[in-house]
Structure 1
Amino acid sequence: MIDTRLTKHIQNIASSKAVAWCIAHPFLATIAYVALVSAFFLAFPQTDLWVSGLFYSQTDGFWAQHNPFLQKVRHLGPYLVQTIAICSVAILVIKLLLPGRPPIVPLRKPVFLISTLILGPGILVNSILKDNWGRPRPRSIEEFGGELPFQPVWKMTDYCERNCSFTSGEGAAGIWLVTMAFLVPASWRKAVLAFVLPLCLILSINRVAFGGHFFSDTMLSWGLTFLVILSVYWLLYLKKPPLMTDQGLDEWFTRNGRRLRRLAKRLLVRLRQALRGSGSAQSES
């Protein structure tokens, strides 16, 4: 009994130290995560087939994709991402159109959200990896009723031309929702993560169940996208001096918003003059 308690106590201490180290060194921890996941799936590629096989049957194929509830779950992720992105853009546009008023929220927040979404799920995952690595999706390979051979992670092939399996766009979008935890007050972060992280897992596994991605695709998307998030956060908030400041963004949008209003007024005056000239010409004729 004493030995068991001592072992558990040591394990708890080791676990706490590991978590504390990851929190203190997020870049290194995330790089280590990507390296370990890559090494594991390269050493044991059959793991991908085994996980996908849990959701496949010879008669129904990937049966989860026919479930109406799971189909709605799939659309939940893009809906949340689009809603956050639209709200972020709207905040910047409102500040540009109403330059004399203070912004709804500090402007680095919408800039952080938009830039991480574009650079992570947008450019890195969907434009660079998915369109160039050529990994066939599970439902397209021979083991699951398709015609193409299975390909391991990080292997560039020409079996798929664009929008391929490696890596997962849904997995990237799911982990991108973690950006909200970077921006809320510290007292809210655990609550946000308690909602976002399980949701990310559900959205990602849902795509594996549909035969749209391998499990390795989703796990690597999490790590790669999180690296982008950490990098942008460092540039905007931790770097000394930061790449941008709330005051600097406020001044930039105020200055350019006023220029835009002056330009709009000049265009409106010219339009009125053109309409008057057109009206005078018609009356004379």
Structure 2
Amino acid sequence: MVMVYVTQDVRAPRGTFQEKPLLIALLVTLTLSAIFVTFPQIDIAVSRLFYVEGRGFPASKMTALNTFRAFGQYFPLTLTIVLVFGLVLKLIYPSRPSLFPPRFTLYFASLFLLGPALLVNGIFKPIFDRPRPRSTIDFGGDDLFVHAWAFGGDFFDDRSFVSGEAAVVVCLVPLAFFVPVVWRRCVFVLLSLFAALTALNRIAFGAHFLSDVLIAAGLMAMLSIALAYVFYGRKGAQACDIKLEAEMTALGHRLHTLRRTALAMISRRLSVAPLLLSPAPSTGENDKG
């Protein structure tokens, strides 16, 4: 399988913002955060577009939109399963090349574990007590509205800041940089559109405010760029694939050796077991008695 990586000789002009994508992502995230903290009514106004008095958020009951949401949940899960399957195949057949380059697997595994799993659900959700739009008084709920980056003061089991589903889908966007160059822009646009529709879907459901999905996207963009530098941008990073491939091959052979040793030991014990369990031969004296 031939894959085109983000490491190419074509670089942005020196001294331009394009040369520093991490800085751009940071500035955009900080700017969005400042806007939503200064003007929190933007969140309420956008969510109100999808709210109907007495009916709540009708979009959440539409079958087509719920199907789209399920697709957005299962697509990243499918990618994870495929990556794990590739690792398992490599360990089963260590003499064959990996189904996916090791850095590709490690990059996306790190992105999903550090982003949606740790940063969003492990840190932000427990810290920021922001109720979902459908739970606030403004939209028929019982909780007070809390703006982005603010502590609510109460403990909510169902928290809004930041959007986990939006974060997961945004983590798929870097896939565009692993396809042939001629397809890169098209795939990037399609994945970005998919992420935007997923974010809009969550807002229409009353599950998240606009700031929840935009700040989540900014955070995941920063993380994906930082990890891309770690795995692909450093000098000598290209040799990482060769080293990881060799280590996985060695690990696969060691596992095969352990398996054969364990099977041989079990086989020997099973062959001895009937002898140990068989009754002792009877003697003539006992027979006469």
Do the two structures share a fold, i.e. TM-score over 0.5? yes
Preserved CA contact (<8 Å) 1:126 1:163: no
Q: How many residues align?
A: 267
Counterpart of 2:214? 219
Equivalent of 1:99 in 88, 94, 98: 94
Q: Distance in 2 between matches of 1:51 and 1:31?
A: 24
Q: Distance in 1 between matches of 2:172 and 2:16?
A: 23
How far did residue 283 of structure 1 move? 3.0
Q: Distance in 2 between matches of 1:160 and 1:54?
A: 28
1:196-255 CA-partner distances (Å, limit 9, x unpaired)? 011100011101110111110000000101111111110000012339711011011011
Counterpart of 1:7? none
Preserved CA contact (<8 Å) 1:134 1:158: yes
Equivalent of 1:138 in 133, 156, 165: 133
**2:43 matches 1:56:** no
Preserved CA contact (<8 Å) 1:131 1:161: no
Match runs of 1:14-93 below 5 Å: 21-93=16-88
Gaps of 5+ in 1: 1-16
Counterpart of 1:150? 145
Q: Distance in 2 between matches of 1:85 and 1:158?
A: 36
1:111-136 CA-partner distances (Å, limit 9, x unpaired)? 11111111111111111111221111
Equivalent of 1:126 in 116, 121, 124: 121
How far did residue 98 of structure 1 move? 1.1
Match runs of 1:183-202 below 5 Å: 183-202=178-197
> TM-score under structure 2 normalisation?
0.88
Q: Distance in 2 between matches of 1:246 and 1:124?
A: 27
1:160-190 CA-partner distances (Å, limit 9, x unpaired)? 4455100001110121111201222222211
Match runs of 1:230-241 below 5 Å: 230-241=225-236
Preserved CA contact (<8 Å) 1:131 1:163: no
> TM-score under structure 1 normalisation?
0.89
Preserved CA contact (<8 Å) 2:169 2:198: yes
Structure-2 change in CA distance of 1:21 and 1:159 (3 Å): farther
Question: 3-state SS of the aligned residue for 1:61?
Answer: coil
Question: 3-state SS of the aligned residue for 2:199?
Answer: helix
Larger relative helix fraction: 1
Structure-2 change in CA distance of 1:93 and 1:63 (3 Å): same
Equivalent of 2:268 in 246, 265, 273: 273
Preserved CA contact (<8 Å) 1:52 1:211: yes
Give the AA of the match of 1:75: A
Q: Distance in 1 between matches of 2:182 and 2:36?
A: 37
Ranked by relative contact order (alpha carbons within 8 Å, sequence separation 6 or more), the top structure is 2
